[in-house]
Amino acid sequence: MTKVIVVGNGMVGYKFCEKLRSRSADIKIVVYGEEPRPAYDRVHLSSYFSGSTADDLLMAPLSWYDDNNIELHVGELVTEIDREKKEIKTHTGRRDNYDYLVLATGSSAFVPNVDGVERNGVFVYRTIEDLNQIASYAKKVKRGAVMGGGLLGLEAAKALLDLGLETHVVEFASRLMPRQIDDVGSEILSGKLAQLGIKVHTGKNTKRIAGNGKLEGLTFTDDTQLDIEILVISAGIRPRDELAKAANLEVHPRGGIVVNSFLETSDQSIFAIGEAASYNNMIYGLVAPGYDMADSVARQIAGDFSKQFTGFDMSTKLKLIGVDVASFGDPFGDNQQCIPIAFKDHRKGTYKRINISEDGKYLLGGILIGDASQYNLLHQMVMNRMPLPENPETLIIGNGSRSADSMDGVKGLPDSAQLCSCENVSKGEVIKQVRECEAKTLGDIKKATKACTGCGGCTPLVNDVIKLTLESMGHKVKKTICEHFDYSRQELFDIIKVKGVKTYEELLDAHGRGDGCEVCKPAVASLMASIWNEPILEQDTIQDTNDRFLANIQRGGTYSVVPRIAGGEITPSKLMAIGRIAQKYNLYTKITGGQRIDMFGARVEQLPDIWEELVAEGFESGHAYGKALRTIKSCVGSTWCRYGVQDSVSFAIFIEDRYKGLRAPHKLKGAVSGCIRECAEAQSKDFGVIATEKGWNLYVCGNGGARPQHAKLLVSDIDTETCIKYIDRFLMFYIKTADPLTRTATWLNKMEGGLEYLYDVVVNDSLGIGQELEEDMKKLIANYHCEWKKVVDDPALRSKFKHFVNSDEPDPTLEFVDMRGQRSPIDWNKK
């Protein structure tokens, strides 16, 4: 049996194991990693400071190595290679033989030789151990700097910012990310970073790291100073080639194990991949080329010599501290004659530059800062030498309808275009899967090709290709909700309503097939709730767990409880009631974003008891667990506020009581502000009302979340009655026509005709359905009931709330830890 030893268990070493194992089940794979834990995601290291744990960052859990029959030794450094005997030796004295040796030793941080570099408070940014040291030192200090304004340096700056430090970035070159972006790009990026609280100092050469024992500041060669207490050095990388060097393998004078296009070192049984390898005088310090090398070597060892490594496009797109930065092809246009076209917007903090060939025919490269949404397409245009449109500037400033544009662009891509650079999947491969292997969904493609499973950045592009291919095959790409129903949500809405279908089973028997699934069950449950508003627990097993147990499931499997506090108004005695109940059941309490109180850590069997007490105190379900109306946030308005022009609290409570319990394709949030100052943030809600001297302004289709979008003004200066009428129509129209799990903002974005059309339907009643919508809403409101009161009063329903069917014990695996005087679930990765 062939035996491969891999030295180094970083991202590339891990990827090599994955690729080799997928090609051959019988090759023996043994891995030695110097770090105490298996391979983790170094690219997203800074997320360690914003909530991720070391285990979240793992490329794969330890069990993966077992499951794949890979022998992994962590915390064991390989110190010697005996090439004659084909044997390695580790620091523990262990000897091991190989047929092939793969050096994936990675790199270490480059530390420049500056006076004072040995002081306390100076760190590098490379491993989780480095991060732990930085975090513990940062507790004692307030001001920090990162030396190095490259990609990794800015990641490190994000880490310092997350640790709560005043953060500076010091860069020797005249601009940030000198290898990727130009001076103007750097200026825009610096501006964005300044807004986030990071001060950038470019053109600074550090002369001395000053201090007395511990670090006190930096002195630069221009004799200026920067007072700081912690310094993180991220000034570049040094390939880890010492093991190779000691074994007399050829290494590059500037570092790196020299390899040929087969990634072979000067010994044919030894390969080098990733940042440790030097190909064609170049070190590839990104993960994508590392994966490409891993793939090539895995193929060769498995007997496929068709794929050589011949360099790698270093185009990159990333989110740095929340700011899009992308650089592709020839970003500076200094390799060929070219004409740059640039667009910069200081106000929004965006910069877009493309370099086109002198004859105006081709795109050569470019830079995007602040908004890199066109990256995939532009990058593909460069890689595939696609002809430019007549007015190339439209590529970066757009000409109105963007979605249509991007589809045209996707059509124009040649089959060789690489869609997923992490897993090297081409457009042709995706098309082949769809045409010949019956792949129909993104899920099918992920399974078949692994596309979109790395960074996920190519997902929209892959989706477009699937859709276009299906369409070209004559499939009507119909939005059916899943394999069990050939209908869209809107069609199911009509079927249920017109035929009077009351149960899921009835619907599946008459209009579907198979046994249903986790997609159609809750979608139908939501539809039936939106149409009939009957108690949802009559069909408890088609509900998502939150709806089934009328509470929000949280880490560990306990639930959180949110009573309704309409408009955020609550009496002192009700506040005390919540306090008493939370204390009695030892629940963690927190104020929510919607002006209510969330109580966490309730075991499933405790929920009815907790609610019995809440109901007795006059509380009702807050529907925080449902795709339903959540809260109407309010500011205090004209009753107390000296600026208020209307009574926003009373109106908010009125609206919340009117629509409470209303189920919809997704959650719904509203707000009412008492004046133009907008303290209730109504313009970030699905529907928001802002008081004016003459009445109310109604805004619709805003949301926070991953892609925040401001609500749009639908009508101004309307009276209360009209305002309610329009909200009734708006909500009912949304409930009827939106796809499952689509918020109002996305619904509007996809609506043909957009806001104007919505205005016509809601205000001008262009479809003639205004009255019908209002009446449907009236029926729903008349059918309101508190779901929790029903459970509390019904012993049969109550008995469903238990963990074991054959014991009254609670789940014995629940574990909690103390956090700031309250309890929290144990981190789920520590289990």
> What residues make contact with other proteins under the rule CB under 8 A?
63, 67, 443, 483-484, 505, 514-518, 520-522, 540-542, 544-546, 548-549, 553, 555-557, 800, 803-807, 809, 811-813, 828-829, 831
Considering the complex, what minimum distance in angstroms separates the CB of residue 179 from other proteins? 34
Taking each helix axis as running N to C, give the angle between helix 459-472 and helix 442-449, from 0 to 180 degrees, rounded to the nearest 10. Answer: 110
Q: 219 or 453: whose CB is closer to other proteins?
A: 453
**652, 682 Cβ separation under 8 angstroms:** no
The residues, any chain, with a CB within 8 Å of residue 656's CB and separated by 6 or more, are 564, 566, 567, 629, 631, 632, 670
Q: How far is the CB of 813 from other proteins (least distance, A)?
A: 5
Tokens of 57: 């960052």
Q: Minimal distance in Å, beta carbon 243 to other proteins?
A: 32
Residue 427 CB neighbours (<10 A): 24
Q: What is the nearest approach in angstroms of other proteins to the Cβ of residue 734?
A: 24
Residue number, 129 or 534, with CB nearest to other proteins: 534
What are the residues facing 318 on neighbouring strands?
Answer: 325
Q: Rounded to an integer, what distance in angstroms lies between the CA atom of residue 57 and that of residue 35?
A: 14
Buried b (16+ CB within 10 A) or exposed e, 161-200: bbbebbbbbbbbbebbbbebbbeebbbbbbbbbeeeebeb
| Cβ distance to other proteins smaller for residue 549 or 651 | 549
With respect to other proteins, which residue has the nearer C-beta, 504 or 759? 504
In contact, 633 and 669? CB cutoff 8 Å? yes
Span between the terminal Cα atoms of the chain, in Å = 37
Q: Which of 825, 828, 829 is CA-nearest to residue 587?
A: 825
Q: Are 293 and 277 in contact (CB under 8 A)?
A: yes
Minimum CB distance to other proteins, residue 487 (Å):
17
| Cβ proximity to other proteins, 18 vs 647, nearer residue | 18
Residue 170: both structure tokens together: 């010091």
Q: E-strand spans in 330-370?
A: 338-345, 350-357, 363-369
CB of residue 397 to other proteins, shortest distance in Å? 39
Q: How far is the CB of 742 from other proteins (least distance, A)?
A: 17
The smaller minimum CB distance to other proteins, of residues 183 and 518, is found at: 518
DSSP-derived 3-state class of residue 561: strand
Min CB(521)–other proteins separation in Å: 5
CB of 828 to other proteins, least distance (A): 5
DSSP-assigned beta bridge partners for residue 239: 107
* The 3-state secondary structure of 219-239, one letter per residue: EECCCCEEECCEEEECCCEEE
Residue closer to other proteins, measured from CB, 571 or 806: 806
Minimum CB separation from other proteins for residue 162, in Å? Answer: 23
Burial class (CB in 10 A: 0-12, 13-18, 19+), 478: exposed
Strand-pairing partners, residue 6, are 31, 102
DSSP, collapsed to helix, strand or coil, labels residue 29 as: strand
* Residue 314 CB, nearest approach to other proteins (Å): 29
Q: Which tokens in the block code for residue 171? A: 């860069």
Minimum gap (Å) between residue 354 Cβ and other proteins: 38
Closer residue to other proteins in complex, CB, 474/812 = 812
Cβ at position 60, least distance to other proteins in Å:
9
CA dihedral 461, 464, 466, 471 (to 10 degrees): -160
Pairing of strands 816-819, 822-825: antiparallel
User: Which of residues 111 and 741 has its CB atom nearest to other proteins in the complex?
Assistant: 741
Residues 229/142, Cβ–Cβ less than 8 Å: yes
| 712/803 with CB nearer other proteins | 803
- The residues, any chain, with a CB within 8 Å of residue 622's CB and separated by 6 or more, are 562, 563, 564, 565, 596, 630, 631
* CA distances in angstroms from 90 to 82, 271, 346, 371, 579, listed in the order given: 12, 19, 55, 48, 59
Q: Is the Cβ of residue 569 or residue 811 nearer to other proteins in the bound state?
A: 811
Q: Which is nearer to other proteins, 451 or 649 (CB)?
A: 451
Q: Of 653, 587, 584, 657, whose CA–CA distance to 616 is shortest?
A: 584
Closer to other proteins by CB, 625 or 687: give it. 625
**Nearer of residues 86 and 623 to other proteins, judged by Cβ:** 623
Is the CB of residue 98 less than 8 Å from the CB of residue 87?
yes
To other proteins, the closest distance from the beta carbon of 803 in angstroms equals 6
User: Is 604:540 a contact under the CB 8 Å cutoff?
Assistant: no
